[in-house]
Chains A and B, each alone.
Chain A
Amino acid sequence: MALEDITFQVAEGELFGLLGPNGAGKTTLVKVLCNMILPTSGKGYIFDHDVSRSSKAIKRLIGYVVSEERSFFWRLTGRQNLKFFAALNNMLSHQADTRIAELVDLVGLNNHIDKAFKTYSTGMKQKLAIARGLLTDPPILFLDEPTRALDPVATRNIRHFIRDSIVDSAKKTVVIATNNMHEAEEMCDRVAIIDKGIVKICDTITKIKAKIEQTPNYVLIFTNAIQQIRKNLQLPKQAIDSVRVLSMAPMDHGTRVKIEYDPQRVEPPDIMKQYIRLGLEIQAFYPEEPSLDDVFSKIID
Chain B
Amino acid sequence: MTYSRKSLIEKGILNLKKPLAFIYKDFISAASYKFSFLSQFVGIFITALAWFFLSSLFGGAVSAHLDRYDGDYFSFVIIGIAFANYLQVALRSFSTNIRTAQTLGTLEAMLVTQTSIPTIIISSSLYNFIMTSFRVIVYLLIGAIAFGLNLGKANYSVAILVLVITIVCFSSMGILSASFIMVLKKGNPLNWIFVNLSWLLGGVYYPISVLPEWLEKLSYLLPITYSLEAMRLALLNGYSFRLLLPNIIPLLIFTIIMLPLSLFIFNFAVKRAKMEGSLVQY
Contacts and interface: CB of A to CB of B under 8 A. Distances in A.
Interface of A: 28, 31, 34-38, 40, 56, 59-60, 62, 64, 66, 68-73, 75-76, 80, 83-85, 87-90, 92-93, 132, 136
A40 B29 CA distance: 39
Contacts of A83: 21
A17 to B, nearest CB: 20
A37 B105 contact: no
A97 to B, nearest CB: 13
Contact of A88 (B18, B24, B108): B18
Contacts of A84: 21-22, 24-25
B215 interface: no
Interface residues of B, number: 32
Given A31-B277, A37-B277, A90-B114, A70 B105 contact: yes
B275 interface: yes
Contact of B112 (A28, A64, A72, A76): A64
A92 B108 contact: no
B112 A59 contact: yes
B109 A132 contact: yes
Given A71-B105, A92-B10, A56 B114 contact: yes
Contact of B113 (A69, A88, A92, A93): A88
Nearest to A86: B21
A59 B120 CA distance: 15
Main secondary structure of the interface of B (DSSP, over half): helix
Contacts of A36: 108, 111-112, 274, 279-280
A274 to B, nearest CB: 48
A83 B25 CA distance: 10
A88 B114 CA distance: 6
B279 A37 contact: yes
Given A37-B274, A38-B275, A71-B105, A80 B112 contact: no
B243 interface: no
A244 to B, nearest CB: 35
Contacts of A35: 112
Given A73-B106, A87-B21, A92-B10, A34 B114 contact: no
Given A38-B274, A88-B18, A71 B109 contact: yes
A68 B18 CA distance: 23
B14 A90 contact: yes
Contacts of B279: 36-37
B28 A28 contact: no
Nearest to A62: B112
B25 A73 contact: yes
A43 to B, nearest CB: 15
A87 B10 CA distance: 12
B21 A28 contact: no
B32 interface: yes
Interface string B1-44: 00000000010011001101110110011001100000000000
Given A37-B279, A87-B21, A88-B21, A73 B114 contact: no
B115 interface: yes
Nearest to B14: A90
B186 interface: no
B50 interface: no
A92 B104 contact: no
Given A28-B277, A88-B113, A132-B109, A75 B271 contact: no
A131 to B, nearest CB: 12
In the complex, the 6 A-B pairs of residues with the closest C-beta atoms, listed nearest first = A70-B105, A87-B21, A88-B113, A71-B109, A64-B112, A75-B32
Contacts of A89: 113-115
Contact of B114 (A40, A60, A92): A60
A87 B20 CA distance: 9
A73 B27 CA distance: 12
B110 interface: yes
Contacts of A87: 17-18, 20-21
B265 to A, nearest CB: 18
Contact of A76 (B14, B20, B29, B271): B29
Contacts of A37: 274-275, 277, 279
20 contacts: A35-B112, A36-B108, A37-B274, A38-B271, A59-B113, A60-B114, A69-B105, A71-B105, A75-B29, A75-B32, A76-B25, A80-B28, A85-B109, A87-B18, A88-B113, A88-B114, A88-B120, A89-B114, A92-B10, A132-B109
Contacts of A60: 114
A66 B108 contact: yes
A72 B114 contact: no
Nearest to B111: A36
A268 B112 CA distance: 55
Contacts of B14: 90, 92
A71 B32 contact: no
Contacts of B20: 87
